[in-house]
Amino acid sequence: MTHFKVYREDRWPHMFCPGCGIGTTMSCFQRAFVNQGIDLDKTAFVSGIGCSSRVSGYVYADSLHTTHGRGLAYATGLKLANRDLDVFVFTGDGDLGAIGGNHFIQACRRNMDLFVICVNNNNFGMTGGQASSTTLHGYTTSTTPGGNPEYPFDLARLAAAAGANYVARYTSAHPKQLIRVMEEGMNRKGFRFIEAWVACPVYFGRYNKLKTPVEHLEWLKENSVHIEQMKADGRTSEDDIDLHVAGKITVGVIRDAERKSYIESIEGDD
């Protein structure tokens, strides 16, 4: 266990709320990262704005904490300018699915050589728990006091449909599985996308009867179904993007393809 070789320990304790799943996702990431033996000096972290985007400031490597939603665009430029760098992007559901939605699908479409971790807490945590593009239908937030009338994005399926090479989803109640898919993703090329549903007991949980971190984690665990199980049950993808009505959170590897990455395409055979 070498936690703090990867982190900037002078910044601990970090700013995340008690029980926040971002910390868990970060721990899983560092474990996968250490297991894969990636060189911190040849790694860069890029993030946008939001709680999860603050992770870039806690990782002891070159890190770019940028503007809201644009992390992927910054990362694209950085990766193309220095192709020896492993570029990791930490982002959240608001950053990636709402304000940065276009950059997200376009980067997937290009199959840009980036590793992206989206910490999905189903709301805008940094600004105090407003509805985001992944807030579940009918769930309460500070801007949907009567329940969310909109339907959420299924970010993992969106990434897969847009052409990302590797897409997987788990929750912060599945740390072992998260590490496994992260490690698998690190061995793929092109756009790698890991969506981690996490507990946000302080905002999302407070409005939705999941006040304690443990309650929130139990809710995540109970509502997760592995994609293979889903298929065995004969359910379609439409069933599971909407937790409130019928579905569950599909977890597992959503897509594992071998399409040429952007850099492979521009570099050609030479």
Partner 1 sequence: MMGEELFLQGNRAVVEGALYAGCNFYAGYPICPSTEILEIMSTRMPETGGTLIQMEDELSSIAAVIGASWGGAKSMTATSGPGFSLMQENIGYAVITETPCVIVDVQRGGPSTGQPTLPAHGDIMQARWGTHGSHSIIALAPSNIKECYELTVEAFNLSEQFRTPVIILSDGELAHMRERIEITDMPIVNREQFPEGKVSFPVDPNEEGVSPFPTFGRGHRTHVTGLSHTIVGYPSEDTEVQGKLIDRIIGKIENNKDTICKYEIINPDAKHLLVAYGIPARSAKDVVLNREDFGLFRPLTVWPFPSKAFIRATEDVKSVLVVEMNEGQLFREVERHACRAGVENVGLCSKLDGEMPTPQDILESHADMEVDQ
Partner 2 sequence: MKLIKREYCKGCQICVWVCPKTVYDEGSEFSDMGYLVPTVERYDDCIDHNRIKKGLKQACELCILSCPDQAIRDDLYGDE
Structure tokens at 130: 């407003």
Q: Are 58 and 90 in contact, with CB atoms under 8 Å apart? A: no
Site for partner 1 in 6-65 (CB under 8 A): 8, 11, 40-42, 44, 46, 56-57, 60-65
For partner 2, the binding residue among 82, 128, 214, 231 (CB under 8 A) is 214
Structure letter (DSSP) for residue 78: H
Characterise 39 by phi-psi region: left (phi > 0), alpha (psi -120 to 50), beta (else): beta
Closer to partner 1 by Cβ: residue 106 or 223: 106
Closer to partner 2 by Cβ: residue 27 or 67: 27
Confirm or reject binding of residue 252 to partner 2 (CB under 8 A): no
Number of residues that bind partner 2 (CB under 8 A): 30
Q: Are 89 and 115 in contact, with CB atoms under 8 Å apart? A: yes
Closer to partner 1 by Cβ: residue 65 or 260: 65
- Residue 234 partner contact from partner 2, partner 1, none using kind-dependent CB cut-offs of 5 to 8 Å: none
The alpha carbon of residue 226 and the mean position of all alpha carbons in its chain are separated, in whole angstroms, by 18
Q: Which range binds partner 2 by CB under 8 A, 6-14, 100-108, 126-134, 224-232?
A: 6-14
CA distances from 37 to 31, 168, 174 (A): 10, 21, 22
Structure tokens at 211: 């006040």
Residues near partner 2, by CB under 8 A: 1, 3-4, 7, 12-14, 16-24, 26-28, 31, 172, 175-176, 179, 201, 212-214, 217-218
